[in-house]
Amino acid sequence: MSRGLRLLPIILLIWILGTFAWRLIQPDDPTIRSQLVNREVPEFALPAVLPNTAGLKSTDLATGKPRLLNLFASWCVPCIGEAPVLDELRKRGVAIDGIAIRDNNGAVGAFLNRHGNPYERIGSDPTSRTQLALGSSGVPETFIIDGKGVIRLQHVGAIERSDLPRIMAELEKVR
């Protein structure tokens, strides 16, 4: 057996281990690209969840001012962690509207009393019809909507404090 053939298994092993190490160091991009980015928000009209907060219609999102549209639920554990970050965004002057997904009004009210209410309007989506029209599959999810009612960004999962610079930069871009 020639010397080259004897080294072939070692070279193959090094190549396999190198491939595994490279994949561990550089995982796939976890970003989900929404099909609705750069498209108008689909039409919807959702009833109010709370007596002192207006419901939400798609036309409310085309007021000339960029907004965040946050999908949440009282039963959503990551939504609890996201609540203080949304409040931080509200304090920075960001207009935030919410859609309560598959929830009941009493539970949403208790959730907002406990964790804060950053929303200007909250619509109830008990069957997830609007959620699905938005291309959302879970909660929390947040959309940046420009002043013309066009979706500019879809953020899947809870907004973390580390996401704030990117969110603020995206909002500034669409002003």
Output the pLDDT for position 31: 57
Residue 28 has pLDDT above 70, yes or no: no
Return mean pLDDT, the chain. Answer: 92
- Whole-number Å distance between alpha carbons of 92 and 108: 24
3-state secondary structure 17-78: HHHHHHHHHCCCCCCCCCCCCCCECCCCEECECCCCCECEEHHHHCCCCCEEEEEECCCCHH
Chain position carrying tokens 């609007």:
130
The tens digit of pLDDT for each residue in 83-121 reads 999 999 999 999 999 999 999 999 999 999 999 999 999
| Parallel/antiparallel/unpaired status of strands 67-72 and 95-101 | parallel
Q: Which of 3-17, 50-64, 105-119 has the lowest mean pLDDT?
A: 3-17
Q: Which runs of consecutive H residues, i.e. helices, occur in 46-163? A: 77-91, 105-115, 129-133
pTM of the model: 0.82
- 160 contacts: CB under 8 Å, gap ≥ 6: 82, 85
pLDDT value of position 8: 87
